Structure formats: C-alpha cells, structure tokens
Amino acid sequence: MRLGSIEFEKKGRVAVITLDEPSKLNALSAGIRQGVTQAFAMIEADPEIRVGIITGSGDKAFCAGADISGFDFAAASVKQFLDEVIGFLASPESCTKPLIAAVNGMAFGGGFELAIACDFVLASERAKFGVPEIQLGLLPGFAVVRLAELVGRAKAKEMSIIGEPVSAEEAVRLGLALRTVEHGKLMEEALAMAEKIATRPVLAVRMAKSFYNRGLGGDDLRAARDAFPFLFMTPDAREGVTAFREKRKPRFE
C-alpha cells in the first residue's frame, strides 16, 4: 500500500514501513513524513499488528536526513519546519508498539534521529550513522537531546561538533545499534526479531516500552523547538545550506 512516499505492508502481526524516495536517498520529504505518520496511525489502530519495522528502499540509504532542497529561511517557516520535524522524529518513541529500525545504508541527520527513536536498531554491515548538520552551520534538533544518553556526553559532542559518521560496528559498540547483520539478510533478521517480539504478551511489551521511555518528550524537546530557529537565522547556516545546494564547500564566517 502506498502512503505518501512510503510503502506500507502488513505481514501477519508485523507492519513494514519502507521509505521510498531512493533518488533523494529517502530524505525526509513532506511525502515521507506524511506516509510514516499515516503508517504509525494504522499500526496503532490495528490490534493484529504487534510490531513495526522501518527501513529504506535501495542499497545506499536508510534515510539521508532532512530534505532541504526547497528550504525557506523566513523565521515563521523555520519555526513551523522545526515544530513539524522534531515532533515527527520523536513519534517512534510515543508509538505504543515496538518499532525496529532496519538500517540498510546511510542514516544521517534526521534519518539517524528517526532510527534512534525506534526501540531497536539493526544495522546492515554497510550502514553508517552520523549527524553532519554542523557542516551546514546547524545542529541536529532531536539528537542533541537524546544522543548523550546513548553514547555519553563526550562522544555526543564529538559526533555533533565534528559531524563525521561512524560505521555499523562502531554504532553497535557505542550502543546506537543492537547488532550488525549481513546486508542481504537484514530484513530477514528484522522480521525474525519482530515475530519473536510478537509472541510475547501484548500488555507486558507495551508496558516495558512505556517504562523505559518514561521521561521522554518533555521540556528538552520543547527547548529544542524554541531555541533552534535562531540557529537557522545565522549567516553560517545560510552559507552552509547554499553551499550544499551548490555542491561546494561552505565558507563559514
């Protein structure tokens, strides 16, 4: 089933969401955000579905991050964009059913954040994880309030300030991913894990997710929504995004 720019497939007790704009490396376009939001609503509403899997189409990317091809720097537009995107990236945490991110390639920026908001991350041996927004003069709005909890403060600073990606093996060592999987067997492994979870008692599984996620989505996300529009107003951010569009190195002031 096509929902926006994603494919939604129900396989018994498991729902599979495939981000499907491979020509844009499955960047978080309005179509992908719309489709994923609809898919989450369907997962929540269907009592037969116990677990969801999110993956990307193609062999290169799970999700390359935000789609900034038509980005508008007007203050009101920036605020609306951040409210929508940060809320969207946090949505896997508030879904009551377990979600597995099957990361089949690059998971950068918003794609990285979407993956770590899921309950489990399985990484193809080809996967790479990173928050490269600093190269655009920006910072990751969702990851800055989650990353330190996963990898520690120093590593979170290094990833955010330098912006270089880590390999699938390093992601496992850091606690970003549960384990690496042979690329061709990624979905097989994800489905097997989902089926195993689906055999467990529904209420206990939901309560486990709720307890481990308690405290998420509070003042930290509200602060990010309020503070980050100012960063988009800087000359460095304009230069970074312009350089990205023009496929050249930015010249930061």
Instruction: Indicate if 113 belongs to the active site.
Output: yes
Catalytic member of 113, 149, 169, 189: 113
Q: In sequence order, which ranges of the chain are alpha helices (DSSP H)?
A: 30-45, 75-94, 110-117, 147-151, 153-162, 168-174, 186-198, 202-212, 219-232, 235-246
- Across residues 56-78, what is the average pLDDT? 81
β-bridge partners, 51: 14
In tens, the pLDDT along 232-250 reads 778 888 888 888 888 888 8
In tens, the pLDDT along 37-58 reads 999 999 999 999 999 999 999 9
Q: What is the pTM of this model?
A: 0.91
Instruction: Indicate if 169 belongs to the active site.
Output: no
Query: What pLDDT, on a 0 to 100 scale, did the predictor assign at position 87?
Result: 86
User: Which helix (H) or strand (E) is 7 found in, with range?
Assistant: strand 6-11
Domain boundaries of the chain, sorted by first residue: 2-185
In tens, the pLDDT along 7-41 reads 999 999 999 999 999 999 999 999 999 999 999 99
Catalytic member of 84, 133, 158, 169: 133
In tens, the pLDDT along 86-137 reads 889 989 999 999 999 999 999 999 999 999 999 999 999 999 999 999 998 8
Query: Which residue's structure tokens are 């602060």?
Result: 223
**CATH code of domain 2-185:** 3.90.226.10
